[in-house]
């Protein structure tokens, strides 16, 4: 991927948290927008009541969606995550999923705490923007 990550001086180091402050995308790059993915099976059923398992499955589903375009998590430039009853402990599971998939080029990321999502059993949802040169 040819995008450029910049973490400006004057802002905290986001690396320990698994994201970047800014990503520059070159002109002429195709953007792929991925709708919110949650920890579901092929029937749309939530796979587990465990938050960490839902995060892993949601990122797995994101990987499937990206692969349909010939991309993977390293091509993601922006993530927006929604977490039911957000607390600090849940950030570790999210950071681990981002780190294992995105490697040395973590995307920008916003984590949003919410009271609920589309179905009562969903605890986590992730939407993404990926870039292809």
Task: Provide the pLDDT for residue 101.
Answer: 76
pTM for this model (two decimals) = 0.90
Task: Provide the pLDDT for residue 127.
Answer: 98
Fold type of domain 4-132: 60s Ribosomal Protein L30; Chain: A; (3.30.1330)
**pLDDT tens profile 50-78:** 999 999 999 999 999 999 999 999 999 99
What is each CA distance from 94 to 10, 64, 118, 132, in whole angstroms? 25, 18, 20, 24
Break the chain into its structural domains and give their ranges.
Answer: 4-132
Task: Provide the pLDDT for residue 1.
Answer: 56
Task: Provide the pLDDT for residue 76.
Answer: 94
- Rounded CA-CA distance 109/52 in Å is 18
Task: Provide the pLDDT for residue 17.
Answer: 79
- Among left, alpha and beta (phi > 0; psi -120 to 50; other), residue 27 is beta
- Low-confidence stretches of the chain (pLDDT < 50) are none
Task: Provide the pLDDT for residue 72.
Answer: 94
């Amino acid at each position: 991927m040819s995008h450029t990550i910049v973490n400006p001086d004057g802002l905290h180091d986001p690396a320990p948290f698994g994201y970047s402050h800014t990503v520059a995308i070159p002109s002429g790059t195709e953007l792929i927008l991925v709708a919110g993915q949650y920890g579901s099976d092929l029937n749309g059923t939530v796979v587990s009541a465990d938050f960490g398992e839902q995060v892993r499955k949601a990122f797995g589903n994101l990987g499937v969606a990206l692969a349909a375009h010939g991309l993977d998590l390293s091509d993601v430039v922006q993530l927006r995550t929604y977490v039911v009853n957000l607390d600090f402990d849940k950030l570790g599971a999210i950071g681990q999923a981002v780190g294992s998939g995105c490697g040395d080029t973590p995307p920008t990321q916003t984590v949003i705490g919410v009271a609920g999502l589309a179905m009562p059993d969903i605890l986590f949802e992730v939407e993404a923007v990926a870039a292809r040169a």
